[in-house]
């Protein structure tokens, strides 16, 4: 018999890894559920049956902005310079600098997650270096760090509703911990929906002794005010990396395309370690179309529709008995709200019961976030279409009445609330 033993063969940090989880681990997409959990763009991609992309994608056509289906036997372009130039055109606004982005400032990968992992592999020595994260935040920073055997330093955001960067605490951590190589900052935040202040980011970038990189994750930037993106700022700061994705504002989560804007030397390192043909030909063609005038017009229309439904939620949610305060900002395609128990207090038991009953009894899937720092009793709700928002609001009102009438949330978990309130750098 083979002496193979998984427990001693695999890396210890992988054996103890807690993988990233989402609501769809519990509630699958069966075609009937309304999915308001994953912060996708419910209006879909900027592609219709009559679009010029599909007109140019016929077998052997070789015409239009699409791609020749017969060319799929060839490896894709390993450099994607044309696609990178379109991204540069989009994000060069001259709102933050007179300098212009070029393809040398770009890395493109399989979603933002590839860039998150690539940065860790570029800059962190396993078992020695650490990254700084600011909870509540996107879970993949921690997952990727553990996969790469990189430690975590947690500096919580300031309390809701601002969820601003605690720059004093961040800078103190960078001063006292010599092995922090990167700080992962999310703006607009997930699950907070709040933009980080440009001045706070600048203070981190200009730290007088820290030799590391600030990674600004702008996955939701297309739902923020115009010119909010700091992507072009990488031409001014050699230690800034800005992550973006087509999964949110562009409604193309299924193509898995993410980008990292960086100073040319940093972008070169990321491109040096990537797989040689990491962006499939169809993905690149779809992305190029999304950045065309035709595609951008549809994206703008869809974002306007999402913004209108977001404003509707902000007006109508507080009118529902049992809905508490908005926690965080409104610069994304989701909102974060407290669920109240029968006594009118934020409560995790109530929020969890509402989350489960919405999915199981009414086919509406949202996201329970009550276990995250500063989010006690909260549900995160992705903004859907008008019909989806209508169904959600009706279902939420009925479900809250049932849950609160049954006293599900009787007795708040005071110890948990106190622990969140007293969270410190760890």
How many domains does the chain divide into? 2
Does the pLDDT value for residue 33 go beyond 80?
Answer: no
Rounded distance, CA 346 to CA 326, Å?
11
Same domain, 322 and 402: yes
For residue 67, is it within any domain? no
Query: Same domain, yes or no, for 338 and 192?
Result: no
pLDDT at 199 over 60: yes
Contacts of the segment 255-258: beta carbons below 8 A, 24+ positions apart: 255/282, 255/283, 255/286, 255/287, 256/110, 256/111, 256/283, 257/108, 257/109, 257/110, 257/111, 257/283, 257/287, 258/108, 258/109, 258/110, 258/111, 258/112, 258/113, 258/114, 258/115
Range from 5-9, 186-190, 275-279, 412-416 carrying the lowest mean pLDDT: 412-416
- Same-domain status, 176 and 288: yes
Confidence at 7, pLDDT banded by 50, 70, 90: confident
Question: For residue range 310-345, what is the model confidence (pLDDT) as tens digits?
Answer: 999 999 999 999 999 999 999 999 999 999 999 999
Contacts of 221 (CB under 8 A, 6+ apart): 187, 188, 228, 229, 244, 249
Pair 355, 340 in one domain:
yes
Q: What is the CATH number of the domain that holds 265?
A: 3.40.640.10
Q: Is the pLDDT assigned to residue 357 strictly greater than 80? A: yes
Asked whether residue 280 is assigned to any structural domain, the reply reads yes
Q: What is the pLDDT of residues 377-415, one digit of tens each?
A: 999 999 999 999 999 999 999 999 999 987 554 444 544
Distance CA 97, CA 348 (A): 45
Distance CA 239, CA 221 (A): 20
Segment 79-103 mean pLDDT: 96
Residue ending a domain, choose from 250, 274, 294 = 294
The per-residue pLDDT for 68 is 59
Residue 426 lies in a domain: no
pLDDT at 398 (0 to 100): 96
User: Both 115 and 207 in a single domain?
Assistant: yes
Q: How many angstroms separate the CA atoms of 322 and 301, rounded?
A: 33
Which structural domain range is residue 350 located in? 10-45+296-421
In percent, the amount of the chain with pLDDT more than 90 equals 69
With respect to residue 41, please indicate whether it lies within any of the assigned structural domains.
yes
Split at pLDDT 50, 70, 90, the class of 122 is confident
Does 3 fall in a domain?
Answer: no
60 occurs within a structural domain:
no
Contacts of 338 (CB under 8 A, 6+ apart): 323, 324, 325, 327, 346, 351, 376, 377, 378
Q: What is the CATH number of the domain that holds 334?
A: 3.90.1150.10
Structure tokens at 31: 């075609």
User: Do 198 and 305 have their domain in common?
Assistant: no
Q: What is the CA radius of gyration of the chain?
A: 22
What does pTM read for this prediction?
0.84
């Amino acid at each position: 018999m083979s002496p193979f033993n998984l427990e001693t063969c695999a890396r210890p940090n992988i054996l103890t890894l807690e993988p990233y989880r989402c609501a769809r681990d519990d509630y699958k997409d069966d075609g009937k559920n309304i999915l308001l959990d994953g912060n996708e763009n419910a209006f879909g991609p900027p592609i219709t049956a009559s679009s010029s992309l599909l007109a140019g994608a016929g077998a052997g056509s070789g015409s239009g902005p699409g791609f020749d289906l017969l060319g799929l036997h060839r490896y894709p372009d390993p450099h994607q310079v044309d696609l990178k130039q379109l991204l540069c055109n989009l994000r060069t606004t001259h709102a933050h600098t007179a300098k212009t982005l070029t393809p040398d400032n770009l890395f493109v990968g399989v979603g933002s997650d590839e860039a998150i992992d690539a940065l860790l592999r570029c800059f962190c020595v396993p078992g020695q270096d650490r990254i700084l994260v600011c909870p509540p935040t996107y879970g993949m920073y921690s997952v990727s760090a553990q996969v790469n055997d990189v430690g975590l330093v947690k500096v919580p955001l300031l309390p809701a509703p601002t969820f601003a960067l605690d720059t004093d605490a961040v800078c103190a951590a960078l001063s006292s911990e010599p092995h922090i190589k990167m700080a992962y900052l999310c703006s607009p935040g997930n699950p907070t929906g709040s933009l980080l202040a440009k001045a706070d980011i600048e203070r981190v970038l200009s730290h007088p002794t820290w030799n590391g990189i600030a990674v600004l994750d702008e996955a939701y930037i297309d739902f923020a005010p115009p010119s909010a993106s700091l992507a072009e700022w990488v031409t001014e700061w050699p230690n800034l990396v800005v992550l973006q994705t087509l999964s949110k504002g562009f409604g193309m989560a299924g193509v898995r395309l993410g980008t990292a804007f960086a100073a040319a030397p940093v972008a070169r390192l990321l491109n040096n370690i990537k797989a040689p043909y990491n962006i499939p030909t169809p993905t690149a063609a779809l992305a190029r179309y999304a950045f065309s005038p035709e595609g951008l017009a549809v994206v703008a229309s869809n974002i306007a529709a999402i913004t209108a439904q977001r404003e509707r939620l902000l007006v109508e949610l507080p009118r529902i008995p049992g809905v508490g305060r908005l926690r965080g900002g409104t610069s994304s395609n989701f909102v974060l709200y407290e669920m109240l128990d029968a006594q009118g207090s934020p409560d995790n038991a109530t929020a969890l019961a509402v989350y489960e009953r919405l999915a199981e009894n009414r086919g509406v899937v949202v996201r329970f976030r009550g276990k995250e720092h500063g989010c006690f009793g909260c549900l995160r709700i992705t903004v859907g279409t008008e019909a989806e928002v209508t169904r959600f609001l009706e279902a939420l009102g009925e479900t809250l009445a049932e849950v609160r009438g049954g006293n599900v949330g009787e007795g708040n978990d005071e110890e948990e609330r106190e622990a969140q309130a007293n969270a410190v750098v760890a």
